[in-house]
């Protein structure tokens, strides 16, 4: 079909387009998977990785584009169909059945039977043989749920491959594994490579990409950024591809209007952290100061916010407010201390969709007053009207359900909710995500205005230019560590990126993964 | 030790301890006669417990079984008594009717994505109502075949005997055990109860399995209705009131996880026997109100749900613990990796 080529590639995706209402999730993606290669698929949140995989496995049929498997056009209808077409998928959340035994999981739907009865002993024997090929020697008669996630991942891979997969999609398989388990998984992956199986590897972890992959394809905002051979790509180039900045001169565009806040800190975090969640960090925020939090997805940005607001309870460190130690065990206490938090996922964690704009705005204030001490309808109306005017929330009236408003206006209503409580310290997690350009600028102006009014702000954003434009200081995270703090003239996109990309052992990145090597020192989506 | 059997072992212990306790209290408790009566008196619950076990293993619930018993007895009484249909034909008719009704409920549950609780609750009202429409009175069944069937017994030592309906229950239990634990269908039921989405992704035929489960449950409820009509020689629309709840209790006391995916058919049988044991104790005692049965079942139920919750929590904690001896042997020695597997 492609003329006299010697051998078609294992899998070719051409011109893949997928639109969801309002979003072009994939815009003409080309992707090539060769026989016996590990091909990393990378991109920040919303880049289109999951949509690509869902299109390939028939979950979301594509709007346009073709899939060629060994040169033959295919159109998987669902996951089972994709599996029949020899495309196997293993997800981060292992999609096996923890209540069944390992052997039952491996042979579900194809159990060896005689006279209609499952031959348990034979099935267990076959399972042991099968898993021995993966270096796994476990009791296959025990429920899968009794084993670690790593073992479950290998069992999932063994099942997918045994169902005769040519293409194996590993969707963030290492996200919850420790170093030894990652090494074990890589060994399995190399073995599959040697058998000519093509592996699409989606991961957060940059080090793992360099350790195992042959090629890298980067997506951003539904578009193909490029395909590179891993050996010829530097870490910096990769981070640049993912974040969408070329590494040439990035002008500092820091807050020229920043009046470096002096004086004692309003809030001090001293060695605050939580085991297996976020490494302990120090952070001080003064009144009239914006501290930006930057890092790739999964680096611990939101975790920082959740610890700071008491949503997740820290198990180490002390928090001081105006120099006095405080106990922060719940968001309720945080609200009482004068904290506010606008969460990342507005729809899930922020708005109460069916309630009116007014009710959404007074929610936090009412919660702080206690439900017995109810705000009168007139007070509610006054507060709502004031903020609707102040923040220019575009709604016909305050009694409209908030879910009918645009994203930007919802965001402003949530800001209003916290401003109504007259907070001293406000945490904004991705305040501009998913809102249009005009509203975007308004939110940024609002952040600057709040700063000038003496509020202490902690702002998280994946938009580097944005965060640089209003932050007095920037904390950079990598792999759940606070790895750097940028101040003054260091507050620049370039410095953020170099801090993210910096690693202790650049040179060793391509070396095979030894169990004691820090494989997971850099997280990516 | 396979932890999955812990609840079943707990059930066995409760039954054995309970029986020993009764035997120590009353002279004639530890006789085959008591055991045989236990089997006969609880045959109809034992039969629906088999169907209910499949339903609960799959993560569902079936509230309609008690009503189906009533409906079956009434229909049998009318067919045999008023319409003079051959009893065997009547049996076949109610079984087909029951199976079809269950298949319908299963289809509604699957295709309309409705909670089994609501669907079978409507089934419960519907069928009970139908039974009352046919007759509000208790109708005696005087067909000679009923007497003949009740005369079929296996005499066991000690002057006692195993009745036909007890035998039917034991056969159903045997078939159910094999079906649940040794066939693909059974594995699919467990898979469905473990995680519906995963099961689907792994290629379990969700629709067919769901419909089969409810068809089986209703079919067995109809069979239980036949057994009940043999046992009482009557058809009555009030028969089997609340039996669905007794059965659910028996299944849970038998160690089946109410949320599905774990359990054992023999546990459900023991659950039924434990409930029967309590009733027998109370009738031996003679002074206790029979409502104490309900109290005892309630207490047992609490204990078993508590035990299951505890085990679930302990397992979850174990699975997420940082040290995992299970994978200790898993680290591969070299990079040889997997080779092509069996043909």
Residues B111-157: tens digit of each pLDDT:
999 999 999 999 999 999 999 999 999 999 999 999 999 899 898 88
Report ipTM for this prediction.
Answer: 0.83
Q: Do A35 and A58 sit in the same domain of this protein? A: yes
Q: Is there a single domain that holds both residue A1 and residue A82?
A: yes
Residue B149: partners with Cβ closer than 8 Å, 6 or more residues away: B164, B230
Residue A151 shares a structural domain with residue A169? no
Where exactly are the structural domains of chain B? 3-315
One domain, residues A65 and A209 = yes
Segments forming the whole domain that contains residue A127: 95-164
Residue A511: the pLDDT is 35
What fold does the segment set B3-315 form as a domain?
ABC transporter involved in vitamin B12 uptake, BtuC (1.10.3470)
pLDDT of residue B225: 96
Tell me the two tokens of residue A521. 């020192």
- What pLDDT does B3 receive? 67
Which bin fits A487, alpha (ψ -120 to 50), beta or left (φ > 0)? beta
Mean pLDDT of chain A: 81
- In contact, A331 and A374? CB cutoff 8 Å: no
| Six token digits for residue B119 | 């669907």
- Choose among B249, B314, B187, B257: nearest CA to B7: B257
Task: Give the residues across from A460 on adjacent strands.
Answer: A293, A429
Partners of A191 on chain B (C-beta within 8 Å) are: 335-339
| B337 to A154: CB separation less than 8 angstroms, yes or no | no
Specify whether the CB–CB gap between B247 and B42 falls below 8 A.
no
Last residue of a domain, one of A373, A394, A422: A422
- Which one, of B280, B219, B223, B273, lies nearest residue B251 by Cα? B273
Instruction: Indicate the length of chain B as a whole number.
Output: 343
Q: Given B319, B322, B336, which is nearest A146 (Cβ)? A: B319
What residue has token string 């904390």?
Answer: A475
Band of pLDDT at residue A436, cut at 50, 70 and 90: low
pLDDT digits 0-9 by tens, B259-285 = 899 999 999 999 999 999 988 988 888
HSE-CB for A389 with a 13 A CA cutoff:
6
B257 min Cα distance to partner chain A (Å): 11
CB distance A515–B204 less than 8 Å? Answer: no
Domains: count for chain A:
4
| pLDDT at residue A180 is higher than 80 | no
End-to-end Cα separation, chain A, in angstroms: 36
For residue A403, report the phi and psi dihedrals to the nearest 5 degrees. Answer: -70, -15
Residue-wise pLDDT tens digits, A278-316: 888 888 898 888 999 988 777 788 888 888 888 888 888
pLDDT of residue A245: 60
pLDDT value at position B318?
A: 61
| Helix, strand or coil, per DSSP, at residue A496 | helix
Closest Cβ–Cβ partner in B199, B326, B333 for A138: B326
Of B195, B262, B338, the CB nearest to A188: B338
Q: What is residue B177's predicted lDDT score, i.e. its pLDDT? A: 96
Q: Which of B330, B212, B74 is nearest to A131 (CA)?
A: B330
In this structure, the answer to whether residues A178 and A116 fall within a common structural domain is no
| Contact (CB<8Å) B199/A97 | yes
Rounded distance, CA B10 to CA A24, Å? 56
A220 and A333 together in one domain? no
**Cβ atoms of A57 and A74 closer than 8 Å:** no
Q: What is the pLDDT of residue A255?
A: 47
Which of A100, A134, A189, A511 would best serve as a mutation to test chain B binding (most B beta carbons within 10 A)?
Answer: A100
Residues 6+ positions from A204 with CB-CB distance below 8 Å = A172, A175, A296, A297, A298, A523, A524, A525
A525 occurs within a structural domain? no
Name the residue in chain B with its Cα closest to that of A115: B183
- Residue that terminates a domain, selected from A125, A143, A164: A164
Q: Verify that A329 and A460 share a domain, yes or no.
A: yes
Diameter of chain A by CA atoms? 83
- A422 or B229: which leads in pLDDT: B229
- Residue B309 or residue A420, greater confidence: A420
> Are residues A195 and A171 part of one domain?
yes
Of the candidates B53, B34, B308, which has an alpha carbon nearest to the alpha carbon of residue B172?
Answer: B53
Spatial contact of B24 and B147, defined as CB atoms under 8 Å apart? no
Region A90-109: mean pLDDT is 86
Q: Which of A136-150, A337-351, A384-398, B210-224 has the highest mean pLDDT?
A: B210-224
In a domain, A515, yes or no: no
Examine the fold and report which residue of A229, A244, A259 is the final residue of a domain before the chain moves on.
A244
Q: Is B312 on the interface with A (CB under 8 A)?
A: no
Distance from CA of B194 to the nearest CA of A (A): 6
Residue A519 lies in a domain: no
Choose the mutation target among B197, B202, B317, B326 for the interface with A, i.e. most A CBs under 10 Å: B202
Which residue in B has a C-alpha nearest to residue A112's C-alpha?
A: B184
Question: Which pLDDT band, with edges at 50, 70 and 90, does A145 fall under?
Answer: confident
Least confident of A387-396, A510-519, B27-36: A510-519
- Hunting for tokens 């679930």 — which residue is that? B312
Q: Between these two residues, A332 and B128, which has the higher pLDDT value?
A: B128
In a domain? residue A257: yes
Which residues of chain B does A515 touch, with a Cβ-Cβ cutoff of 8 Å?
Answer: 331
If asked whether residues A108 and A134 sit together in one domain, one would say: yes
A87 within 8 A of A56, measured Cβ to Cβ: yes
Alpha helices for B141-264 (secondary structure H): 144-151, 164-182, 184-194, 196-201, 206-232, 243-253
Residue A508 has pLDDT above 50, yes or no: no
Asked whether residue A444 is assigned to any structural domain, the reply reads yes
Mutation site, A79, A133, A138, interface B, largest B CB count within 10 A? A133
A185 and A65 share one domain: yes
Q: Per-residue pLDDT for B21 more than 70?
A: yes
Residue B171 has pLDDT above 90, yes or no: yes
User: Do strands A215-220 and A198-202 pair parallel, antiparallel, or not at all (unpaired)?
Assistant: unpaired
* Residue A231 shares a structural domain with residue A143: no
CB contact under 8 A, B195 and A97: yes
pLDDT tens, position by position, B304-343: 878 777 876 776 666 555 433 333 333 333 333 333 333 3
CA–CA dist A338, A343 (Å, integer): 16
With cut-offs at 50, 70 and 90, classify the pLDDT of residue A437.
low
Selection from A308, A302, A290 nearest residue A349 by Cα? A302
Average pLDDT, stretch B197-204? 84
The predicted pLDDT at position A349 comes to: 74
Is residue A299 located within the same domain as residue A434? yes
Taking an 8 Å cut-off on Cβ atoms, the answer to whether B326 and A116 are in contact is no
């Amino acid at each position: 079909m492609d003329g006299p080529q010697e051998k078609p590639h294992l899998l070719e995706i051409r011109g893949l387009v997928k639109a969801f209402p309002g979003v072009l999730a994939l815009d003409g993606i080309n992707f090539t998977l060769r026989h016996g290669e590990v091909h990393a698929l990378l991109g920040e949140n919303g880049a289109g990785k999951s949509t690509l995989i869902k299109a390939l496995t028939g979950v979301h049929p594509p709007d346009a584009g073709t899939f060629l498997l060994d040169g033959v056009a295919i159109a998987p209808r669902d996951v089972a169909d994709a599996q029949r077409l020899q495309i196997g998928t293993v997800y981060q959340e292992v999609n096996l059945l923890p209540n069944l035994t390992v052997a039952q999981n491996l042979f579900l739907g194809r159990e060896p039977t005689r006279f209609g009865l499952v031959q348990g002993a034979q099935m267990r024997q076959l399972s042991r043989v099968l898993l021995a090929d993966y270096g796994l020697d476990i009791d296959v008669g025990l429920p899968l749920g009794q084993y670690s996630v790593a073992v479950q991942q290998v069992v999932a891979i063994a099942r997918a491959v045994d169902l005769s997969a040519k293409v194996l999609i590993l969707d963030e398989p290492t996200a919850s594994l420790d170093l030894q388990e990652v090494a074990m998984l890589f060994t399995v992956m190399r073995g599959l490579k040697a058998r000519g199986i093509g592996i699409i590897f989606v991961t957060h972890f940059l080090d793992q990409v360099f350790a195992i992959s042959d090629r890298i394809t980067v997506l951003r905002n539904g578009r193909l950024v490029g395909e590179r051979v891993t050996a010829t790509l530097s870490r910096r180039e990769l981070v640049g591809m993912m974040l969408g900045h070329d590494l040439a001169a990035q002008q500092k565009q820091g807050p020229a209007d920043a009046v470096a806040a002096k004086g004692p800190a309003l809030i001090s975090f001293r060695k605050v952290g939580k085991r297996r969640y976020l490494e302990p960090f120090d952070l001080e925020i003064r009144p009239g100061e914006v501290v930006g939090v930057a890092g790739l997805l999964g680096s611990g940005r939101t975790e920082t916010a959740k610890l700071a607001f008491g949503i997740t309870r820290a198990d180490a460190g002390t928090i001081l407010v105006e120099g006095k130690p405080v106990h922060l065990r719940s968001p309720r206490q945080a609200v009482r201390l004068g904290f506010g938090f606008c969460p990342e996922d507005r729809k899930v964690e922020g708005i109460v969709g069916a309630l009116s704009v007014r009710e959404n705005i007074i929610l936090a204030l009412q919660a702080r007053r206690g439900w017995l001490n109810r705000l009168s309808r007139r007070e509610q109306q006054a507060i709502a009207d004031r903020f609707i005017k102040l923040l220019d929330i575009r709604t016909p009236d305050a009694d409209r359900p908030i879910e009918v408003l645009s994203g930007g206006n919802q965001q402003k209503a949530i800001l209003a909710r916290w401003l109504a409580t007259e907070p001293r310290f406000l945490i904004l997690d991705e305040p501009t995500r998913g809102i249009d350009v005009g509203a975007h600028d308004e939110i940024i102006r609002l952040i600057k205005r709040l700063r000038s009014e003496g509020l202490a702000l902690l702002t998280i954003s994946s938009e580097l230019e944005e965060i640089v434009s209003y932050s007095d200081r920037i904390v950079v995270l990598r792999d759940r560590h606070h790895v750097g703090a940028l101040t003054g003239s260091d507050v620049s996109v370039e410095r953020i990126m170099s801090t993210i990309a910096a690693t202790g052992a650049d040179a060793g990145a391509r070396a095979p993964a030894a169990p004691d090597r820090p494989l997971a020192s850099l997280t990516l989506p | 030790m396979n932890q999955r059997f812990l609840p079943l072992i707990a059930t066995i212990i409760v039954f054995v301890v309970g029986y020993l306790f009764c035997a120590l209290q009353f002279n004639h408790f530890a006789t085959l006669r008591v055991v045989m009566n236990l089997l006969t008196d609880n045959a109809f619950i034992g039969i629906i417990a088999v169907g209910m076990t499949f339903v609960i293993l799959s993560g569902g619930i079936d509230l309609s079984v008690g009503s189906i018993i009533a409906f079956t007895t009434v229909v049998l009484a009318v067919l045999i008594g008023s319409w003079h249909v051959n009893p065997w034909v009547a049996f076949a008719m109610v079984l087909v009717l029951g199976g079809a009704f269950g298949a319908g409920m299963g289809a509604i549950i699957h295709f309309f994505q409705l909670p089994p609780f609501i669907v079978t609750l409507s089934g419960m009202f519907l069928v009970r109502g139908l039974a009352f429409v046919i007759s509000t009175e208790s109708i005696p069944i005087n067909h000679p075949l009923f007497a003949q069937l009740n005369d079929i017994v296996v005499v066991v030592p000690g002057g006692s005997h195993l009745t036909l309906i007890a035998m039917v229950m034991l056969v159903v239990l045997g078939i159910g055990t094999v079906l649940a634990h040794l066939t693909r269908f059974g594995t699919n039921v467990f898979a469905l109860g473990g995680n519906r989405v995963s099961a689907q992704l792994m290629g379990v035929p969700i629709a067919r399995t769901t419909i089969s489960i409810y068809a089986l449950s209703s079919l067995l409820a109809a069979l239980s209705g036949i057994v009940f009509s043999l046992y009482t020689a009557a058809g009555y629309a009030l028969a089997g009131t609340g039996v669905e709840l007794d059965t659910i209790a028996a299944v849970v006391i038998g160690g089946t996880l109410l949320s599905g995916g774990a359990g054992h058919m023999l546990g459900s049988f023991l659950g039924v026997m434990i409930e029967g044991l309590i009733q027998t104790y109370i009738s031996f005692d003679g002074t206790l109100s029979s409502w104490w049965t309900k109290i005892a079942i309630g207490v047992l139920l609490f204990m078993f749900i508590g035990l299951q919750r505890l085990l679930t929590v302990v397992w979850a904690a174990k699975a997420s613990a940082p040290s995992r001896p299970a994978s200790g042997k898993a680290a591969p020695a070299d990079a040889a990796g997997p080779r092509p597997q069996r043909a």
